[in-house]
Structure 1
Amino acid sequence: MILQPGHAVPDDAAYLPATTDHVLWGRLPCATDSPVLAIDPGDQVVIDTISHEGILEDQGRDPLAWFTAAGAHDVLEDAIALAASDHPRTWGVDGPHVTTGPIRVPGARVGDLLAIRVLETTPRVPYGVISNRHGRGALPGEYPLDGADVFSVFATVDDQGRGRLPLGPGTEATVGFDLHPFLGIMGVAVAGDRRPHSVPPGTHGGNIDINVLTAGSTLYLPVQVDDALAYVGDPHFAQGDGEVALTAMEASLRVRLGFEVIAREDAVEAFGELVGPMAETSQFLVPTGMDADLDVAVQNCVRAAIALLQARFGMDPRHAYAYLSAATDFDISQVVDQVKGVHARIRKADFA
């Protein structure tokens, strides 16, 4: 089933469709942006998101033609409308990502944490796209091959709910992989009147591409402007740590999210002084580190993990450092977004 705008929307939560007046394309919200929805802390929102793959200029900026040629039978109406619109965006200057929002959360103040709880992630289409373009990715001097500017692979969802992509052009043989839908972009508005580029992540969150942020997880973000002005986008069906080719299986999602505000004093007691995003799943506490230099990103993540263990469990920093070395995985979130990301997976059961 394809989830067109307004189709099969539950009636127990606010609904935010990804119409052209509800999205930004290539930039992220700042303090002067007007909210497209206001909710109270504790409320849930059902949000439509649009993947940028299939709508970009190097793919013809015609998703109906592009996806139909790739083998899709249905194409999202909101993706078609956005690509055909004069939505403000400069190709080659702004980023590729489409974000839905911003959402005003009254009561969120600078210094608080905004908790975004991922309750459901529902694919809107049975297909997605994985691209390597413009000399980007982990091997920018080697791929795409043959002097191509972009190479996009059309991937499908099979009857077992797994991803499928061909082994090569002209062959019907495929490789299958598990899907773990998540939002690559979750963030809060930055201070000032300048919208940040959608590609590099930062203390505001944004394009963090952390693949553990599936249904049941929570992302905590330091609020940077009053009322938070939250937004989401860059939907994925699947992504390996690193996202080495530049994009993973990018495909549009409908998500149900819950929003809560954690007062600064409570946030410091629970997490320490967070300077950037932190995630939590049923199994793990997930501090993050970011920097253009991957070595520094790792160091920042280790420091964040030590601070978290001190605040949450009263752990001596030397013992926390030792525990992290013995028992915690440090994963590369992505290496392709200018600012590289690392996240740690600290098992909560170890401290039961």
Structure 2
Amino acid sequence: MLKPLALSLMMFSGLGLATTQVSAEEFKLLKQISAQPTLLKNGEYKGNYYVPSTLKTITWGYLPNKDAKPVLTIPSGSTITFDTVSHEGLLEDQGRDAEKYFTSKGVKPEQILPEAKLITGSKLKHDFQKDGPHVITGPVYIEGAMPGDILKVEILKIEPRVPYGVISNRHGKGTLPEFPKRQKHDHASPENPEAYGNVSIFTPIEKNADGVWEGVLQTESGKAIRFPLNPFMGTMGVAPNTSEPVHSVPPSFYGGNIDINDLTAGATAYYPVQVPGALFYTGDSHFVQGDGEVALTALEGSARATFKISVLKSGKDKIPGQSRTQPLGENAEFWITPGLDEDLDEAMRKSTREAIRFLVNEYGISEEIAYAYLSAATDFEVSQVVDKTKGIHAMIRKADFSEFTDTNKK
């Protein structure tokens, strides 16, 4: 079991943030396995395809579109591991200097991912005001995937690559317009990040006495708030059929920044394929997120994500809820039907309509019965309200349909 992280608290005068020292001996950094996308032939991930985050395999602020060049081609049914890099600690309002930012928080240089330093030290263009914040890894071409098919993404494992993350609140981005309560100045720049007036809270993670991962938020009194982790990828999806740039912030029918915190290890996501090869990508790793994600970000940090990716052929393979025009999720207990819209009320309506459609097609019941069931027994959760397009998703309990399983097996 990992020993608790050494915490040496002090207040950082620029943003009033807690700074902690993180010992390199207490966490094994998940370093890049290979400099190139490849099939791994040895080691812990032997047999997996692998995609690192390099300047050749990432985009910053935008998702792949139909013209994106795939960084790797894999057969349907493959297991693939992505090393992703969080944007938190890399952005302009944090100085666009990963090493400087994290060392100012007590992180030792050897515990900062080389990829993070490479990205912020590169000439890769990124406009803080215009572009999305996310570092997106991919895309990967899946053999046999064609428009009309469904890409099935089984989430096998999400592993923190570093023992820390960041929670940020930026002007005009969170739920409450009065936060952050710091003035923004016109002379804000990466050289003068404090002038943005934004707030980023550096947050270590550690294992408690029971071996359970926790986030550790130090408060002004010196006492810590400790909360369990639940890692997931905020962004997963397929390329839309467009040549236009696809901003990384708003989620849509192709997936993207959907931020559903139930899509953790053991869950499965389904995406309607829009272009040949599907062009799957991922990024925006979260160590944990509350429903709503009200401040703007959750506890976000770099993670290693391992998936099994399969193509479900339209008209041939069993597709949950039959044909699909938007993402679907499931885990051992629930079917998850998202609703996405800039208006939260309309997102609720869309999630409800999709839940009804799913129940009718999957279990052969009437719309009236499905609607009644949802009202009586289904929780609708707010995934996030801060990504321009807001999200609500229905949590449909599978156990309630146990009498249907003989004729409606996955």
Q: Structure 1 length as normaliser, TM-score?
A: 0.96
1:35 aligns with 2:70: yes
1:48 maps to: 83
**Match among 362, 371, 381 for residue 312 of structure 1:** 362
Partner of 2:386: 336
Counterpart amino acid of residue 331 in structure 1: E
- 5 Å matches for 1:37-116? 37-73=72-108, 74-116=111-153
User: Given residue 98 of structure 1, which amino acid in structure 2 is its aligned partner?
Assistant: V
Q: Contact 2:182 / 2:198 at 8 angstroms: preserved in 1?
A: no
**AA paired with 2:134?**
H
Partners of 2:245 and 2:391 in 1: CA distance: 21
CA–CA distance in 2 between the matches of 1:179 and 1:59?
A: 24
Cα RMSD after superposing both structures: 1.4
Change (3 A) 1:267 1:221: farther
Match in the other structure for 2:29 = 2
* Number of residue pairs matched by the alignment: 349
Task: Map Cα deviations across residues 259-308 of structure 1 (whole Å, 9 max, x no partner).
Answer: 01111225786314322111010110001100000000000000000000
Q: Which runs of 5+ in 1 are unaligned?
A: none
Q: Which amino acid aligns with 1:333?
A: S
Q: Report the counterpart of residue 227 of structure 1 in structure 2.
A: 277
Query: Is the contact made by 1:112 and 1:267 (CA closer than 8 Å) also made in structure 2?
Result: no
What one-letter code is carried by the residue in structure 2 that aligns with 1:110? P
- Say whether residues 1:294 and 2:294 are aligned partners: no
Q: Is the 8 A contact 2:312 2:318 kept in 1?
A: no
The one of 139, 142, 146 aligned to 2:182 = 146
Alpha-carbon spacing, 1:146–1:92, altered in 2? closer, same or farther (3 Å): closer
Alignment of 1:268-279 (within 5 A): 270-279=320-329
Residue matched to 1:129 = 166
Identity, % of aligned positions:
46
Equivalent residue number for residue 26 of structure 1: 61
Q: Unaligned 5+ residue runs, structure 2?
A: 1-27, 35-42, 185-196, 403-410
Q: How much does 1:167 deviate?
A: 2.4
Could you say what secondary structure the match of 1:306 adopts?
helix
Find the counterpart in structure 1 of residue 203 from structure 2.
Answer: 155
What is the rounded CA distance, in whole Å, between the counterparts of 2:214 and 2:93 in structure 1?
A: 28
CA distance in 2 between counterparts of 1:324 and 1:266 reads 30
Q: d(CA) in 2 for partners of 1:157 and 1:339?
A: 30
* One-letter amino acid of the counterpart of residue 180, structure 2: P
8 Å contact 1:268–1:274 — kept in the other structure? no
Q: CA deviation at 1:211?
A: 0.2
Question: 1:70 Cα deviation (Å)?
Answer: 1.0
Q: 1:314 to 1:128 in 2, by over 3 A?
A: same
- Tell me if 1:118 matches 2:155: yes
Which residue number corresponds to residue 213 of structure 1?
263
Which AA in structure 2 matches 1:150? N
Residue 285 in 1 paired to residue 285 in 2? no
Q: Secondary structure at the match of 1:270?
A: coil
- Residue 6 (structure 1) shift: 1.7
Q: Which residue of 2 aligns with 1:183?
A: 233
Question: Which segment is superposed worse, 9-18 or 70-79?
Answer: 9-18
Q: Which amino acid aligns with 1:66?
A: Y
More displaced 10-residue stretch of structure 1: 10-19 or 49-58: 10-19
Aligned-pair CA distance for 1:4 = 1.8
Q: In 2, distance between residues paired with 1:200 and 1:64? A: 29
Letter in 1 for 2:355: A
Partners of 1:172 and 1:113 lie apart in 2 by 50
Is contact 2:168-2:201 (8 Å) kept?
A: yes
Say yes or no: does 1:16 pair with 2:36.
no
Tell me the amino acid that sits aligned with residue 166 of structure 1: Q
- What is the SS of the residue equivalent to 1:183? strand
Secondary structure of 2:62's counterpart equals coil
| TM-score, scaled relative to structure 2 | 0.83
In the alignment, the residues of structure 2 paired with residue 266 and residue 283 of structure 1 have an alpha-carbon distance, to the nearest angstrom, of: 26
* One-letter amino acid of the counterpart of residue 50, structure 1: V
